[in-house]
Structure 1
Amino acid sequence: MQQTNDEVSSHQKQNLTALSIAAIGVVYGDIGTSPLYTLKEVFNGVHSIPANHANVLGILSLIFWSLLIVVSLKYVVFIMRADNKGEGGIMALIALMQRVTEKDSRLRWILLVLGIFGAALFFGDGLITPAISVLSAVEGLNVATPTLEPYVIPISLGVLIALFKIQRNGTASVGALFGPVMIIWFLTLAVLGVIKIFQYPDVLYAINPMYAVDYFLVHEWHGFLVLGAVVLALTGAEALYADMGHFGKHPIRAAWFLFVLPSLLLNYFGQGALLIHDPSAAVNPFYKMIPEWGIYPMIALATIATVIASQAVITGTFSVTRQAIQLGFMPRMEILHTSAKEIGQIYIPFMNWGMLVGIILLILGFQSSSNLAAAYGVAVTGTMAIDTILAFVVVRGLWKWSWPTTLIGMAFFLSIDLAFFSANSMKIVQGGWFPLAIGIGWFTLMSTWKRGRQILFERLREGAIALEPFLASIAEHPPIRVPGISVFLTASPEGVPHALLHNLVHNKVLHEKVVLLTVQTMDVPWVPNEERLEIHPLGNEFYRVVIYYGFKDDPDIPDALSQCKIEGMEFNMLETSFFLSRETLIPTKMPEMALWREKIFVHMARNGSSATAFFKIPTNRVIELGSQVEL
């Protein structure tokens, strides 16, 4: 038995190690490349300060304690405990929040609006991160030789265009290299930092938080503004929580505390030591740490690392988009699976090319990583603050914390988040308006779609015929029944589907077996196969079937129906016909929603992916019957 326990323990350790290495490659790419530009923006950016001894120690103390409190304590230790069956991220928080606020509809609505806005800000942040990361890496050419400066933007654009072009092929083969490459990257960060720290070990005094306090006391208002650059050290903190479902809590935590955090701190302190010794290095302290012979290899390594960081943001955007679609906040889109083994590896063409266009416009418009840094921070700090509020609502509801404990904890973290947000809000005029505008745009689209679907559902329910009287009339006056199975998709489990009525009116027949099918997305990431279906016989060969999916499940109606165990009925696709209603939506001046929002909703509905493709129904088995609905 002892041998068996040892073997189990050894296997668990090996699995933890493998997952931790994978997490280093996927989760930490964003925050891992922040040393490329953070201190450069503090001492050479818009609100730069002199790189003297006191300022360097004060800024390093701010970075040190920000990483410990915001990333380590808030995200890695606390918020990662608020998981939805192992899944994290703001969409998972929204799902949990809706569950714990069921009895308070007003609070639920307020928090839902806040959560949607946080998810919308994520899309704004997702555009800036690849642009600023890749630009910062390629800008090392300016340090190597100024004559290469004209090539920085073309090279950056070429790298990013190539990255987005390969998304359709999937990331499985490239992903295998992510972990080892990022391990080399973090080891390089640590070694460079240690070399400089040995040259000026007094820089380690910055661990003392009094240096951060003294910095604020001396610089006052300007000291507050510099938080807009310090926040760059926290880029990607939300990814730790969002990617929890891919790797689990323990590998992410182990990778952070044992490897990533020490490497980052050593590099930041190493850059600080260099700046104390040579303040002129503020122009680009990261690349100034490197001897001349190593600059070009480091540019190559940094570019690869930033591509990996960008890949994590891209796949994260795909994942959040799919979750938003499943939870009813966005219209259906074409979703392609790039791996037969990993369900999480998906490709969404619309989001892919939309992001690329946005990033190209960002780079051409802002021209440098320093200018982009002025645009960064508003979206990410807004999302962090919203994460804090939703997380404490969830832990109050699930963990039953007392109100004093909940309020004190939320006030502590929220005060830090709002300090960073306030400092970054000063950058709105300089460029922070861009991610904010993207976030407001996405919020408008997501909230409009959610509200529009509710109105449409109400309209369809108002005009629907009650199911029980309809079935009774069918029994009394049976129409001609033809061989086969007909499946009518309907969002309402109570009324008669419009497609069924139209079919009966026009064709005067029914199939031998009629299935009224409803698809419901639950507020959990996955629904087990054994809980996928509910079947309710309604009499006279009518059946009510409900298929349940989680917000990370991959809807596949034919596959789900193949599991149906109804006596005498087998879902052979060659003998099954699917009937769908296609509503023609007409905007009106009804009071439920502004006319301009109704027009946006109609446009989104027309351009969304069809239910046939989204639910993987064979196109040659589908019959669509139209109807008009006034909103």
Structure 2
Amino acid sequence: MTVGKLSGHKFNGLLGTLVMSYNSLGAIYGDLGTSPLYTVSSIITSEPEHEKDVLRAISCIFWLFTIIVIFKYTFLVLTFGPNNGEGGQIAIYSKIARTLHIGPVGVKIPGGDSKNGDQVPDNDGNLLALTRTNTRNSTYSELVNTKMKSFLSKFTIGLCFYGCSLVFSDGLLTPTTSVLSAIAGIAVAKPDFEDKVMPISCVVLICLFLIQRYGSGKLSLVFSPIIAAWLLILFIDGCISVSQHPSVMKALNPAYAIDYLVNDGHVDALAPVMLSITGVEAMFADVAHFGPHAVQISLAFVVYPSLMICYLGQGSYLIRHPASYSNIFYESIPGGVGSNYYWFVFVMSTLATIIASQALILGVFSIVKQLIIIDCFPRFNLVYTSSKHKGKVYIPVVNYALMVLVVVTTVCFKNSNNVTAAYGLGISIDLLITTILLSICLHYVYHINILLVACFFFPFGVLEACLIVAGLKKVPHGAWFPLMVSVISFVCIATWRWFRSLKISKEIDSKRSIEDLFDNKKMKKQLKEAMVLDLRKKGDDEADSISSIALEGDETRDDNDNANDNDNDADTLDFNYKGKVTKIHRIPKAFLMYSAAASTNTFNHYLPNLFEHIVNCFSALPKVFILVETRVSTFPYLDEDTPKASLIKIDGPVPGFYRCIVRSGFMKQSRINKSLLREILFQVTELQELMDYYKVDDPFMITGELNIPVVEIFERDLISSKTLDQHMEDDLDIWSKKGSFNWRKAIRAPWWFIRENIINQVLSPFDGAINSSSMDYMIDTDLKNAKVNHESLYVSHRVIV
């Protein structure tokens, strides 16, 4: 019976993978699958004189595709690269950073699987939301030289940011060139349509972006049959053409590819060949939408054979009809130009070319999502579009921003020929970045011998370096555009992370614990007595001597304190605010503070910086103070019997402090309503004391109103930059003496002027705009509308970085 159940699970798992493989066709292979439309014509630009000329070109396409797409990506990158189901360079970086603990300051990178070689399994692996943890060294990471770790920290995150930026730049070019070329195909049949190509392309692109909100799952239902039919057409047409000249199969001999590079332009000849693998980087970035196994199956068993047979078929036709080199794809269609089948293929090619944009759009969504999770991108709203697969995500702000930029790019380039000249170089650089990051990952994460890693790095690295060299000649003709866009994107991402690291470092440096803020003498006395009794229980002579010393040493202090016992009861505390100690009283209320501060998420016993300012303002401390945080599960919905909120007591000399974790499924945010608030309050030890004070038996009335006062606090940081003078006051030891000409200040003045304006005029307002609602989205309407014993406070706190 058990075997039967296991077999059933395996069958269902295999069936699900096959379904996902089919769905992936329409989402991530449009770009890769439409490369036969133009690749051979780009390589062979004049009528071939000998059969060998055609065989060499086809052989070069076959082996470049096989080496990069199959050997590297299908077998290696998709096996060792994904992290927590996500793809792209950011996934590889995340594995490296988590293993060596060299990630961004204050960020816990999700994922981790010891079976796959990760050093730090994620014990709370079902939590996807941004969380932070204190940096610590594992046994393995201690073996890595400190300087090497410092270098890897900067080097890998720099490569990761630039690799993501290259995908963003490709996200502008691919939709532009694919749609322009598809619509331009109509102008071939109707020349008077040429002036309408650009405006109609813009309309098509806008429609394409508008339907993204339906999610990759629903779009795949429409796109996958089209791409599947397209690949079938390529395969059938190729088989028919190859059967008419089978000797074209000699192109599978790598000697022809080597001969092509040696005799036909050396490295420069790789530039047009590179067009055959455009889209492979998007395929890796899109892994989260379908899973690595589904992508491997669809690529190896459907896409690869269809494309290779198609290229061989075009080579076969070109050997027989050398004059057809300029439009080899349409010329080689069985039935000839103008036949009914020809127009059917033309329509399918147009649809497939338009769909080619989908791969890059989804890739951008996946990359931005991962950047948000590791706190390297503004925290935009993520919309999960599938309850069965957490990787399918839609980001409205990014979608519409990308739409505007793509339309602007389309208007500027006007036709596909101009875009093609800019195409390829960015992808080549992206391929090399993936190779470098994966090499580091193989050695440090999977502990593969450095010699074996070198056997991976050098063949692929040298080949991809040659592709970059070949693409550099395109820079004057348009390849400057993706380089410019990628540099701008890189600067934006790096600047945002720098800004976030300044803020987080400031929070952590100024963290305050309960012990730092309060001096509860009665509680200290109780703790001391408990410790003394504990030592005496041991019955050890040494323990007895320590106990007697402790008692003797405390007698004097106790005598002095006894006179003030009446003023220092359980409801009176000494509050230390910026070095000034004042007495405050505890009030019979419950405060809930919604905070995402790094100081509280990193160190469990520390409080948000805003807390001490609130206590100072009210000159009082509530009986119950609860810090509320959120976590998002990898499950779409939480089971009914799963607690949505759990309380953890914060240890310290003052009772009544708790941390509350509110859990949600990724498809539905758990909101704090009266029912959930009741669940939270009943976990509080001091609840009975509050109910006794107000002489009630339940925190809520029968009508649903609160019986005990509850105050909800929402924080919003207002961030501003230090001035140069403030920085100098903080670091006087490294500056010149006051009163004399300060040449160091003069040198740094321009940089600090730029720094102040970037933070105060750009980053701080932007951060405030995207976080303007704070965490009040967690409060349900029924609780917001509570009129009795319920208050909401929105408190701003200025952070100078």
Q: Aligned match of 1:168 in 208, 213, 217?
A: 213
The 2-side partners of 1:534 and 1:205 are apart by 70
Q: Is the 8 A contact 1:500 1:579 kept in 2?
A: no
The equivalent residue for 1:25 is 26
SS of equivalent to 2:376: coil
Give me the whole-angstrom Cα distance separating, in 1, the residues matched to 2:613 and 2:353.
55
Q: Please state if 1:67 is matched with 2:58.
A: no
Q: State the shift of 1:448 in Å.
A: 0.9
CA contact (8 A) 2:22 2:298 kept: yes
CA gap of 1:3–1:581, structure 2 versus 1, over 3 A, is closer
Q: Secondary structure at the match of 1:65?
A: helix
For residue 542 of structure 1, report the CA deviation from its aligned partner.
0.8
Shift in Å, 1:133? 1.8
Aligned to 2:539: none
CA gap of 1:187–1:594, structure 2 versus 1, over 3 A, is farther
TM-score (norm 2): 0.70
Cα pair 1:271 1:285 within 8 Å, conserved: yes
Alignment-derived partner of residue 189 in structure 2 = 144
Given that residues 555 and 616 in structure 1 are in contact (C-alpha distance below 8 angstroms), is that contact kept between their aligned partners in structure 2? no
Q: Distance in 2 between matches of 1:573 and 1:243?
A: 48
Distance across 2 between alignment mates of 1:230 and 1:525 = 43
Q: Is the 8 A contact 1:491 1:519 kept in 2?
A: no
User: Which residue of 2 is the match for residue 36 of structure 1?
Assistant: 37
Question: Of 422, 442, 451, which residue of structure 1 is paired with 2:469?
Answer: 422
Give me the whole-angstrom Cα distance separating, in 1, the residues matched to 2:184 and 2:411. Answer: 15
1:154 aligns with 2:260: no
The equivalent residue for 1:54 is 52
Q: Does 1:264 align with 2:307?
A: yes
1:275 aligns with 2:318: yes
- How far did residue 55 of structure 1 move? 3.1
Q: Which residue of 2 aligns with 1:513?
A: 624
Q: Which moved more, 1:159-168 or 1:139-148?
A: 139-148
Q: CA deviation at 1:131?
A: 1.4
1:102-141, aligned counterparts within 5 Å?
102=101, 103=141, 104-141=149-186
Distance 1:329 1:521 in 2: 19
Structure 1 distance, partners of 2:375, 2:154, is 15
Residues 327 and 521 in structure 1, CA contact (< 8 A), matched pair in contact too: no
State the alpha-carbon separation in 1 of the partners of residues 493 and 302 from structure 2.
38
**How far 1:69 moved relative to its partner?**
0.7
Quickly say closer, same or farther: Cα 1:13–1:456, change in 2 above 3 A: closer
Helix, strand or coil for the counterpart of 1:78? helix
State how far apart, in whole Å, the 2-side matches of 1:547 and 1:382 are. 43
Q: Which is richer in helix?
A: 1
Question: Cα distance 1:38–1:375, how it changes in 2: closer, same or farther (>3 A)?
Answer: same
- Judge conservation of contact 1:480–1:508 (CA < 8 Å) in 2: no
- In the alignment, structure 1 residue 498 sits paired with structure 2 residue 541: no
Q: Which amino acid aligns with 2:372?
A: I
User: Is residue 591 of structure 2 the alignment partner of residue 485 of structure 1?
Assistant: yes
The letter of the residue matching 1:483 is: K
Match of 1:452 among 495, 499, 504: 499
Change (3 A) 1:174 1:99: closer
For 2:385 and 2:10, the matched residues in 1 are separated by 34
Displacement of 1:262? 0.6
The residue type equivalent to 1:98 in the other structure is A
> What SS class does the counterpart of residue 375 from structure 2 fall into?
coil
In the TM superposition, 1:384-463 aligns within 5 A as 384-463=431-510
Show the counterpart of 1:191.
Answer: 236
The number of residues matched between the two structures is 622
Question: What is the SS of the residue equivalent to 1:479?
Answer: strand
- Offset at residue 140 of structure 1 (A): 2.3
Deviation at 1:414, TM superposition (A): 0.8
Q: From the superposition, tell whether residues 567 and 230 of structure 1 become closer, same or farther in structure 2 (CA, over 3 Å).
A: same
The aligned counterpart of 1:285 is 328
Partner of 1:596: 754
- Equivalents in 2 of 1:89, 1:449: separation in Å? 20
Which runs of structure 2 are paired with 1:549-564 in the superposition (5 Å)? Answer: 558=671
C-alpha contact (below 8 Å) 1:379/1:436 kept by paired residues: yes
The whole-number CA distance in structure 1 between the counterparts of 2:319 and 2:775 is 58
- Superposed displacement of residue 327, structure 1: 0.8
Look up the SS of the partner of 1:515 in the other structure: strand
The structure 1 residue matched to 2:655, chosen from 526, 531, 540, is 540
- 1:266 corresponds to which letter in structure 2? I
State whether structure 2 residue 770 is matched by structure 1 residue 624: no
| Residues 26 and 178 in structure 1, CA contact (< 8 A), matched pair in contact too | yes
- Aligned-residue identity in percent: 28
**Aligned equivalents of 2:433, 2:644: Cα separation in 1:** 33
C-alpha distance after superposition, 1:317-365 (max 9, x if no partner): 1221121112111122243445566544443333222222222232223
Partner SS for 1:156: helix
Classify 1:553/1:414 alpha carbon distance in 2 versus 1 (closer, same or farther; 3 Å).
Answer: farther
1:238-296 Cα shifts (integer Å, max 9, x gaps):
23332333333332222122111010111112222233333443333222333313344
The structure with the larger Rg is: 2
Unaligned runs of 5+ in 2: 102-140, 142-148, 521-571, 575-582, 688-698, 728-747, 785-790
Structure having greater relative contact order (Cα 8 Å, sep ≥ 6): 1
**How many Å apart are 1:547 and its aligned residue?**
7.6
Counterpart AA for 1:55: D
Matching of residues 186-265 of structure 1 within 5 Å:
186-219=231-264, 222-265=265-308
1:303 deviates by 2.9
> Which range moves more in the overlay, 559-568 or 392-401?
559-568
**Could you state the TM-score of these two structures normalised by the residue count of structure 1?**
0.88
Deviation at 1:68, TM superposition (A): 0.9
C-alpha distance in 1, partners of 2:643/2:48?
Answer: 63
Distance between the aligned counterparts of 2:450 and 2:778, measured in 1? 49
Kindly state the Cα deviation for residue 587 of structure 1 after the two structures are TM-superposed: 5.7
User: 1:99 — aligned with what?
Assistant: 98
Structure 1 equivalent of residue 74 of structure 2: 76
Whether the 8 Å CA contact 2:39–2:272 is kept in 1: the answer is yes
The CA deviation at 1:12 is 4.2
RMSD of equivalent CA atoms? 3.6
Q: Tell me which amino acid in the other structure corresponds to 2:33.
A: G
Question: Which amino acid is the alignment partner of residue 721 of structure 2?
Answer: I
Of 572, 575, 578 in structure 1, the residue corresponding to residue 713 of structure 2 is 578
Aligned residue type for 1:404: L
- Structure 1: gaps of 5 or more residues: none
Query: Does the Cα contact within 8 Å between 2:88 and 2:281 map onto a contact in 1?
Result: yes
Maintained 8 Å contact 2:647/2:683: no
8 Å CA contact 1:54–1:215 kept in 2: the answer is no
The secondary structure found in structure 1 opposite 2:479 is helix
Q: Is the 8 A contact 1:140 1:287 kept in 2?
A: no
C-alpha deviations, 1:454-502, integer Å up to 9, x for none? 1122333444544422143674444342433321412213554232223
Deviation at 1:16, TM superposition (A): 3.2
Deviation at 1:65, TM superposition (A): 0.6
For residues 308 and 775 of structure 2, what CA distance do their matches in structure 1 show?
Answer: 46
Distance 1:507 1:520, change over 3 A: same
Give deviations 1:111-155, integer Å, cap 9, x for gaps: 111111111111011111111222232332244343433333233
One-letter amino acid of the counterpart of residue 197, structure 1: V
Q: Is the 8 A contact 1:93 1:391 kept in 2?
A: yes
Q: Aligned partners of 1:451 and 1:546: how far apart in 2?
A: 28
C-alpha contact 2:96 2:441 (8 A) present in aligned 1: yes
Superposition deviation, residue 98 in structure 1:
0.7
Cα distance in structure 2, aligned partners of 1:406 and 1:615: 49
